[in-house]
Chains A and B, each alone.
Chain A
Amino acid sequence: MTVRSRVLILVAAVAVLAAVGLAAVLHASARAERRDRTQAGGPRVTSGTVTLHGSGRLVFRNMAWGPHRDELTAVPAGDPGGPRTAAGLKCLRFHAASGTGVCLQAVHGPVSDTYRALILDARLHIVDRYDVPGIPSRARVSPTGHFAAWTAFVGGDSYAGTNFSTRAAIVDTRTGELIPSLESFRIVRDGRPYRAADANFWGVTFAADDRTFYATLATGGRTYLVRGDLRGRTVTTLHTNVECPSLSPDGTRVAYKKRVAGLPGDAPWRLYVLDLRTMRETPLAEPRSVDDQALWRDTRTLVYALPGDYGADLYEVQADGSGRPRRISAAAVSPAYLG
């Protein structure tokens, strides 16, 4: 083959490949318009005022297509599938309690995205903002509203390969004081002080006393349930194979996802509830793998997200292992019950 014909082939191929690439980009950008149009049969979303005061409402990130996609929306707690009121604030992850909210947002930069955490007051006004070091995954506010926590996936940038670690931060919403990483806390494992470079924390959940929290600690290839002490700055291991704990409103039980042996590698988790007094585990009636930090609607019911047609759907199941899971709302994620 002559150089001339090789160059001709290359030029032709560049033209074809560029056309294919351009078509893919145009297709994906045209999707914006479709996604901004309301999907037939989807929930009705109208803009309005959402506050974090009062009770009887459920607030979550609306994932339904239409003009209010990814905004915080509120529905009556008794009718979670009903019409939604959109607040105009976009969050990737959200949680709220006692008039304080935490909203984890992406900030679109020219070259790459960065992330931040917004502390919101009851009228969804921004009180404080903090850098989040990676893609946000979990958010929680303490029952009193005095503390907020979030977890981010750090790493995964192009030169670090596909290894990830997590970083969990806790902020005092009254003083603005930030603990950027729980890795600075002293670890007591099986009754002994423990230090490890590979310690990772995620999925913080707070007790009502403004001092105790629970979280996941991963180290040496195992995951632990830890009880943390905000004043003593320590965490103590309680149980193994626990991820994304969620403390019940009465503080007696922890719901969590557990890696169950024999399940496929891409769907390894099942929901369990651990009684903190007897340390007895109860499997819940959800047969699917749940990759979420469950939320207690009340002392008897848990709510969690599973992948759905428009990102994620919310489901509920009995906390005592009985009953059947039930879908309560489509195209929704990151729920918080007010009041």
Chain B
Amino acid sequence: MYVADSRASTSAHGAARPAAGRRRAAVAPTVLALGTVSLVTDVSSEMVTAVLPLYLVTGLGLSPLGFGLLDGIYNGFSALVRLVGGHFADRGGGRHKWVAGLGYGISALCKPLLLVAHSLTPLGAVLAADRTGKGLRTAPRDALISLSSTPETRGRAFGVHRAMDTAGALLGPLVAFLILRATVDGYDAVFAVSACVAALGLLVLVLFVPGGRAPAAPGQRPTLRAAVGLLRRRDLRRITVCALLLGLATVSDSFVYLLLQRRLGVPDRWFALLPLGTAAAFLLLAVPLGRLADRVGGWAVFLAGHGALLLAYALLLTSWHGTGLLCLVLALHGGFYAATDGVLMAAASDSVPERLRSSGLAVVQTGQALTRFACSLLFGTAWTVWGDRAALAGAAVALAACAAFSLTLRPARTVTA
């Protein structure tokens, strides 16, 4: 099974996979189960994230600034954990479910701990553990999604998963605020309900996600060297290089919202709602764009997604002031995520052998996360030195150049089916 799932050999593989649907409309039950796990887990974690600042300031009387400083450190740590999780999931062939389950379990355990942590240090430790759980589970989960679908339905499978994931992220804050409405200082109730919801997500994973099967080549345990050696594979190297380059020109979300606010004078009380626009577009477009990726090739959709982002930058650089601009930029921004987030995983899956799937996806994800972080630093510096418009113009030029370069690197085998 070292042969990449090239389009030519797909029909044979597809037939051999029990979980994969033969009809185009179907998504493997495993993908639906994993989507449900992600939806439920995101409700749980976003409930906590939504009330945490309120809890810190009005519940505990702390100022959350010091907290923000710690956050950057956790993010770097989380990227490393992701590689570890990816590697361990591959070792022994069938451990994806259990490594992912460990990740979900750690995060679920963190929720009741929030009830007893009353100062910044223990709270920071609990949140670091929560991040560790998230880092551990991401790569094995994506590997499971890709392993349970055929190459020609992978885009849709990831699309369905990402849509369900985003739906959970949108529901979480709503649930949290409904609880706060129904109670007085009900942060403990929010944390308790969040813990119950997280436990439910873990249970769905344990009960309904099939465990892995025996390794394709017993005796050949995937080693760390083999995982690193993946980058010697031309296809994966190309995808990774492109993802890194494009990540380097992807301005972080908060900058996009700040730019929108500056351009349009969005009233302060609406500012916090801007990310909801992006999430809503992501939710609506994830499945259609995933299906499109299956039809015309993931690579084309991935690049088109960056085209949408480039268009959003360009619109922000025009002198158009209007509500239309706001809607269009948020729609393009959400569309960018819908066309890139799951689609990249689907495209990368084509170039990673099954036994190293989890490690391979982790390498791409971590690389992308790190370059996006670098972009944030660069963009912040450029904003300081040249101002917001010039910094955005620079990012747009860089994005155009990286996209043009990526076009020339287009992987040979991901051609239209």
| Residues in chain A within 8 A of chain B (CB atoms) | 1, 6, 9-10, 13-14, 17-18, 20-21, 24-25, 27-29, 31-32, 35, 92, 106, 108, 110-114, 131-135, 137, 153-166, 180, 195-198, 218, 221, 264-268, 291, 305, 307, 311-312, 333
Contacts and interface: CB of A to CB of B under 8 A. Distances in A.
Contact of A113 (B54, B127, B192, B200): B54
B124 A265 contact: yes
B383 A197 contact: yes
A132 B267 CA distance: 10
Nearest to B194: A21
Interface string B198-230: 011001100110000000000000000000000
Contact of A265 (B66, B172, B196, B253): B66
Nearest to A115: B269
B346 interface: no
Contact of A163 (B68, B123, B181, B185): B68
Contact of B189 (A25, A160, A333): A25
Contacts, number: 177
Nearest to A13: B203
Nearest to B273: A157
A1 B208 CA distance: 10
A131 B200 contact: no
B192 A20 contact: yes
Given A9-B207, A18-B196, A160-B254, A25 B183 contact: yes
A71 B197 CA distance: 35
Nearest to B49: A158
10 contacts: A9-B207, A21-B192, A29-B184, A106-B58, A112-B50, A131-B269, A159-B278, A164-B68, A221-B69, A266-B123
Contact of B64 (A14, A133, A156): A156
B60 A307 contact: yes
A20 B112 CA distance: 12
Nearest to A107: B269
Nearest to B178: A111
Contact of A21 (B60, B71, B196, B204): B196
A6 B254 contact: no
A258 to B, nearest CB: 14
A268 B66 contact: yes
Contacts of B204: 10
A35 B184 contact: yes
Contacts of A165: 68
B102 to A, nearest CB: 19
Contact of B124 (A113, A266, A268): A266
Given A29-B184, A198-B380, A307-B61, 15 more contacts: A9-B203, A9-B207, A14-B200, A25-B189, A25-B193, A31-B183, A32-B183, A132-B268, A160-B253, A162-B49, A162-B64, A164-B67, A165-B68, A218-B65, A266-B122
Contact of B275 (A31, A110, A154, A158): A158
Contacts of A92: 58
B244 to A, nearest CB: 22
A153 B192 contact: no
Contacts of A131: 267-269
Contact of A28 (B188, B207, B275, B384): B188
B52 A156 contact: yes
Contacts of A305: 61
Nearest to B120: A266
Interface in B34-72: 46, 49-50, 52-54, 57-58, 60-71
A28 B189 CA distance: 6
A135 B184 contact: no
Nearest to B276: A159
Given A27-B189, A163-B71, A157 B121 contact: no
B268 A164 contact: no
Nearest to A138: B63
B120 A25 contact: no
Nearest to A135: B57
A35 B188 CA distance: 15
Contacts of B184: 28-29, 31-32, 35
Nearest to B60: A307
B271 interface: yes
B147 interface: no
A13 B169 CA distance: 23
B182 interface: yes
Nearest to A17: B196
A10 B181 contact: no
